């Protein structure tokens, strides 16, 4: 029996970008399920289907859907299915990011035009796509909470983070403009900014192990963030407890962002 408060009892929550049991999206979906929500987890393509079926089977009220947010037909199918089955949506978590591997090493100066466009489309613009599709479903419920995942590399230069840092800066501006647009309709939009976490996606960044150690040694709590802490913050942001918060970047990084040296 989970000790997680049932803060999302009766809510419908869509978590975009699940990949495996180490991903932030999975930790968030798991916590939402424990908190009483009906959870829909999405994954990018059929390579992840078998794994996602097994993961969802371990949760109460969990379903899964294949959806590449850059494909309009797949986005339409996802949100139409949610509307048909649940008649509305309360929460969206956008945990989607991608950059070409060669752009996560060396100099940002050498980023290709193709790499720039791919990183911004997948890591930033897909939030707008998701928010636009979720809006009519959230209006049926009287409002909702949308959140995305960012990183401090949007504000400070992190070696080898390169184009992803620029894309995360775009994502944060994107979040603020969406918060302004959707606020009058009682739809909140925020971002969580975890410290470096040892996910499969993060391991694609050159020197990531050094990044983990550096953050651990300098964060006020003298440790790295884990996915469970991010999931707890997401639960707060999805619930009515955060009803007065929108357009904000919420750090979940053991305090690392406050340090100068």
107 in a structural domain: yes
What is the pLDDT at residue 209? 82
**What is the 3 state secondary structure string of 132-186?**
HHHHHHHHCCCCEEEEEECCHHHCCCCCCCHHHHHHHHHHHHHHHHHHHHHHHHC
37 in a structural domain: yes
> Which of these is catalytic: 43, 151, 251, 256?
151
Query: Which of 4-18, 124-138, 193-207 has maximum average pLDDT?
Result: 124-138
* Residue 157, domain extent: 12-252
Model-level pTM greater than 0.85?
yes
What is the pLDDT at residue 1? 40
Is 108 assigned a catalytic role? no
4 in a structural domain: no
188 in a structural domain: yes
Query: Distance between CA atoms of 176 and 191, rounded to whole angstroms?
Result: 9
17-58: per-residue pLDDT in tens? 998 888 999 999 999 999 999 999 999 887 877 888 888 899
48 in a structural domain: yes
Query: Distance between CA atoms of 116 and 106, rounded to whole angstroms?
Result: 15
DSSP per-residue codes, 9-28: TT-EEEEE---STTSHHHHH
Domain count, the chain: 1
178-215: per-residue pLDDT in tens? 999 999 999 999 999 998 887 666 666 767 788 888 88
134 in a structural domain: yes
> Which of these is catalytic: 98, 161, 251, 256?
161
Domain of residue 25, CATH code = 3.40.50.720
Gyration radius from the chain CA atoms? 17
Is 151 assigned a catalytic role? yes
208-256: per-residue pLDDT in tens? 788 888 889 999 999 999 999 999 999 999 999 999 999 999 999 999 9
144-149 and 91-94 strand pairing = parallel
47 in a structural domain: yes
Length in residues, the chain: 261
65 in a structural domain: yes
């Amino acid at each position: 029996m989970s000790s997680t408060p049932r803060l999302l009892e009766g809510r419908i929550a869509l978590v975009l970008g699940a990949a495996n049991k180490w991903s932030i999206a999975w930790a968030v979906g798991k916590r939402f399920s424990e908190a009483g929500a009906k959870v829909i987890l999405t994954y990018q393509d059929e390579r992840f289907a078998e794994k996602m079926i097994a993961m969802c089977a371990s949760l109460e009220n969990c379903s899964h859907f294949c959806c590449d947010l850059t494909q309009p037909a797949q986005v339409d199918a996802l949100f139409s299915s949610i509307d048909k089955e649940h008649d509305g949506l309360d929460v969206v978590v956008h945990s989607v990011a991608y950059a070409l591997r060669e752009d996560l090493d060396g100099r940002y100066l050498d980023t290709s035009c193709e790499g720039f466009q791919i990183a911004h489309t997948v890591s930033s613009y897909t939030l707008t796509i998701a928010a636009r599709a979720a809006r009519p479903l959230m209006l049926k419920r009287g409002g909702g909470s949308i959140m995305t995942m960012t990183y401090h590399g949007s504000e400070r230069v992190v070696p080898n983070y390169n184009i992803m840092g620029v894309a995360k800066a775009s994502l944060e501006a994107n979040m603020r403009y969406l918060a302004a647009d959707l606020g009058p309709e009682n739809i909140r939009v925020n971002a969580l900014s975890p410290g470096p976490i040892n996910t499969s996606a993060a391991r694609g960044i050159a020197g990531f192990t050094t990044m983990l150690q550096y953050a651990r040694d300098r964060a006020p709590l003298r440790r790295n963030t884990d996915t469970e802490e991010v999931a707890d913050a997401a639960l707060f942001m999805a619930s009515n407890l955060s009803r007065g918060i929108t357009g904000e970047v919420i750090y979940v990084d053991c305090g690392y962002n406050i340090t100068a040296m």
